Amino acid sequence: MSHSLGSLVAPVAAMVLIAGCSTALWPWSRGKQRDEPRLNHVQALGSHNSYKQAIAPELLRVIAERDADLGQELDYSHIALSEQLDLGLRQLEIDVFHDPDGGRYADPLGMRMLQVSGWNPGPDYDVERYMQEPGCKVLHVQDIDFRSNCMTLKRALEELIDWSELHPGHLPVAITMNANDSAIPLPGSVEPLPFDAAAFDALDAEIRATLPPKMLITPDDVRGKAETLESAVLAGAWPTLSKARGRFLFVLDEGGDKQKAYVDGHPSLRGRVLFVAADPGTPEAAFLIMNDPIGSGDEIARLVALGYVVRTRADSGTVEAREGDYSRAEAAAASGAHFISTDYYQRDPRMDTGYEVRLPDGATTRWNPVTAADHAKAELAP
């Protein structure tokens, strides 16, 4: 999730085949580890704000009239989570709002604004009344970009379980999460509840109550008996693919006070469900979020070679898709980042650039070009 909301008040399609890149040997020397592929030996495409449906046209027009750049930035959507996984994506983003009592996000202001003005508010919203249920809600921006293919975290997790059971042995899937609690400068908009330690405890509990342990990869699983989570991953402790297949790992894509609230009392994320986007050199560092593969490509490759897992982005804000610019996607693949997030794993027929992101040979997954030189010729089942 990234956007600017400050101004709200006032022909031939071609698929990109991302160029290959040089490989580097993985610097492990521990017994069989060089022979047995692990989670961090894979590179996969993923999606950004994976739950997001399109904003109703009339509401998007109102947004664009106030801020044309924001209107373009929000003008994308996704198919269902399970359909994305069917295409081979192995990283999703599910953003959450804390709603322990239910109903806080059930009556979006954007719809009411359109109705009062006599404009079409778009399709009926929440006919099944899922937004009234207690628990985390899944949406992008309250009141303006609220339509979601999975309105509650529970329903999103249940969809993942159903898909996983139909595809036993699938590659591990990373789920990044923004913990959304920012207000927006729109009079009458709902005020989100803060993500404090209690809210994060509730998030962990909701995930554990829905996903069975056999489907989770947690920081405790990776750390094992190591002193810190970081020391474990730098020693090569990511699970083998044979153990990681069929599982999901969750990552809190937040820094600052929210990351601190999640980590406090849980050094090296002991007892926690989510990994966090911690800085290298800290006990919790294992999964890094580095969204500028052009400016930071060499640094991403260095950190990947050390043992960290990295997520980066191929595009953002619809800019690359509108311009047909693949430079960021190419840099992402070459960096060895394990997960490359895009809004365009399928082309948008409204755009004449034909922008669509793929790895070499049209793939959505491949052996990682930095860490998996020993496995490059082996078949990789998705």
Is residue 14 over pLDDT 80?
Answer: no
Q: Which residues contact 337 (CB under 8 A, 6 or more apart)?
A: 43, 290, 293, 300, 304, 310, 311, 312
Among 124, 95, 31, smallest CA distance to 251 is for 95
**Predicted confidence band at 3 (pLDDT cuts at 50, 70, 90)?**
low
Contact 314, 320 (CB under 8 A): yes
DSSP 8-state secondary structure symbol assigned to residue 31:
G
Strand partners, 180: 97
pLDDT of residue 46: 99
**In 66-190, at which residue ranges do the beta strands (DSSP E only) sit?**
91-93, 96-97, 137-138, 173-177, 179-180
Is residue 18 over pLDDT 60?
Answer: no
Is residue 277 over pLDDT 70?
Answer: yes
Q: What strand order describes the sheet that includes 309-313?
A: 287-289, 309-313, 339-342, 42-47, 365-367
**Predicted confidence band at 146 (pLDDT cuts at 50, 70, 90)?**
very high
Contact 146, 108 (CB under 8 A): yes
pLDDT of residue 116: 86
**Predicted confidence band at 371 (pLDDT cuts at 50, 70, 90)?**
very high
Helix, strand or coil, per DSSP, at residue 56: coil
Among 319, 261, 313, smallest CA distance to 76 is for 319
Among 342, 378, 382, smallest CA distance to 48 is for 342
Contact 274, 177 (CB under 8 A): yes
Q: What is the mean pLDDT of the chain?
A: 92
pLDDT of residue 376: 76
Per the structure block, which two tokens stand in for 151? Answer: 């309105």
pLDDT of residue 377: 75
**Predicted confidence band at 16 (pLDDT cuts at 50, 70, 90)?**
very low
Per the structure block, which two tokens stand in for 168? Answer: 């036993």
The amino acid at residue 295 is G
DSSP 8-state secondary structure symbol assigned to residue 162:
H
pLDDT of residue 26: 29
Report residue 31: phi and psi, to 5°. 50, -125
CA distance 290 to 243: 26
**In the chain, at which residue ranges do the beta strands (DSSP E only) sit?**
42-47, 91-93, 96-97, 137-138, 173-177, 179-180, 248-252, 274-276, 287-289, 309-313, 339-342, 365-367
Is residue 8 over pLDDT 80?
Answer: no
Contact 136, 94 (CB under 8 A): no
Write the CA distances from 315 to 21, 38, 141, 343, 356, integer angstroms: 19, 27, 19, 7, 10
Is residue 136 over pLDDT 60?
Answer: yes
Query: pLDDT, tens digit, for every residue of 53-106?
Result: 999 999 999 999 999 999 999 999 999 999 999 999 999 999 999 999 999 999
- Per-position DSSP letters for 165-212, written without gaps between them: HHSTTPPPEEEEE-EE----SSTTPPPPPP--HHHHHHHHHHHHHHS-
CA distance 366 to 331: 16
Give me the percent of the chain exceeding a pLDDT of 90: 85
In order of their start, the domains of the chain are: 39-375 (3.20.20.190)
**Predicted confidence band at 34 (pLDDT cuts at 50, 70, 90)?**
low
pTM of the model: 0.90
Contact 323, 353 (CB under 8 A): yes
Write the CA distances from 105 to 66, 135, 172, 228, 341, integer angstroms: 23, 11, 32, 39, 27
